[in-house]
């Protein structure tokens, strides 16, 4: 079941309804988290209490912050609530901006299966290539446009996350799905290997060519400590 939800539409969609949909392991949702909808209802406790399912959003609303930062914090809060649903394993948001660069809305996707998020990212990448959409990450702070084919910025984020640690391919794949625009970590790992910032240990009897990252051949990836390449 794939459900498109507009919680700020004419009839509204309480979070309890979203939770009910996600009770099934076979359900996925794509939610239009609309900046205009937030702006219209920022002082309407009843509407946003229903959208969030509680009053947790009040602390963000009452903070003396620019509206766009409030939108980002409300988005992060909503994503955390989705992640708290028992059958949800992956939540990712695509921030959409108009030609003037102003925030229009976020599309928030939640699924219980990694393949669902892989396919959603494929669809978003196809739209990105038309030049009709702008995508940014959802980090609080200065918005930064990303390209689906440019791994450098997100490779740096991955390195900071795992610096000095060892990680399985599955761990890195989950990180790539949840925290980057990529469907898997391969482009980011290639960038880091070219820079000498990781070492790849392979499964015995499964040799690999440098720059390739077959899931079946990788035993673990060793991330160099931050000062090892200084």
Residue 75 in 3-state DSSP?
helix
162-202 pLDDT per residue, tens: 999 999 999 999 999 888 888 889 999 999 999 999 999 99
What is the spatial distance between Cα 225 and Cα 222, in angstroms, rounded to a whole number?
Answer: 9
Contacts of 113 (CB under 8 A, 6+ apart): 89, 90
Give strand pairing partners of 97.
103, 134
pLDDT at residue 85 tops 90: yes
What is d(CA 159, CA 224) in angstroms, rounded to the nearest whole number? Answer: 9
The answer, yes or no, to whether residue 86 has pLDDT greater than 50, is yes
Percent of the chain with pLDDT over 90: 46
Label residue 72 by pLDDT band (50, 70, 90). confident
Dist. CA 225–CA 215, nearest whole Å = 24
Predicted pLDDT of residue 149: 60
CA–CA separation, 206 vs 187, rounded Å?
Answer: 20
pTM: 0.78
Mean pLDDT to the nearest integer, 82-102:
81
> Which residues make Cβ contacts (< 8 Å) with residue 129, sequence separation at least 6?
none
Q: Is the pLDDT higher at 152 or at 134?
A: 152
**% the chain with pLDDT above 70:** 85
Predicted pLDDT of residue 131: 46
- Summarize pLDDT for 24-39 with one digit per residue, the tens: 999 999 999 887 888 8
Do the Cβ atoms of 199 and 166 come closer than 8 Å?
no
Distance CA 168, CA 222 (A): 9
Q: Kindly tell me if the per-residue pLDDT of 61 is higher than 50.
A: yes
């Amino acid at each position: 079941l794939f459900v498109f939800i507009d919680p700020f539409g004419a009839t509204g969609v309480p979070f309890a309804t979203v939770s009910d949909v996600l009770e099934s392991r076979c359900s996925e949702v794509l939610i239009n988290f609309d900046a205009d909808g937030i702006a219209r209802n920022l002082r309407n406790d009843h509407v946003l209490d229903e959208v969030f399912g509680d009053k947790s959003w009040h602390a963000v609303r009452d903070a003396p912050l620019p509206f766009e930062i409030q939108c980002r914090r409300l988005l992060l809060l909503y994503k955390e609530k989705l992640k708290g649903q028992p059958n949800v394993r992956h939540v990712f948001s695509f921030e959409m901006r108009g030609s003037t660069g102003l925030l229009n809305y976020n599309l928030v996707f939640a699924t219980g299966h990694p393949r669902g998020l892989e396919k959603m990212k494929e669809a978003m990448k196809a739209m990105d290539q038309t030049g009709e959409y702008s995508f940014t990450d959802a980090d609080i702070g200065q918005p930064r446009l990303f390209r689906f084919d440019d791994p450098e910025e997100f490779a740096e984020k991955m390195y900071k996350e795992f610096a000095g640690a060892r990680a399985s391919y599955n761990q890195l794949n989950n990180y790539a799905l949840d925290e980057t625009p990529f469907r898997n970590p391969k482009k980011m790992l290639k960038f880091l290997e070219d820079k000498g910032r990781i070492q790849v240990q392979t499964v015995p009897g499964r040799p690999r060519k440098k720059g390739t990252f077959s899931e079946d051949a990788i035993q673990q990836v060793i991330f160099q400590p931050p000062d090892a390449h200084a």
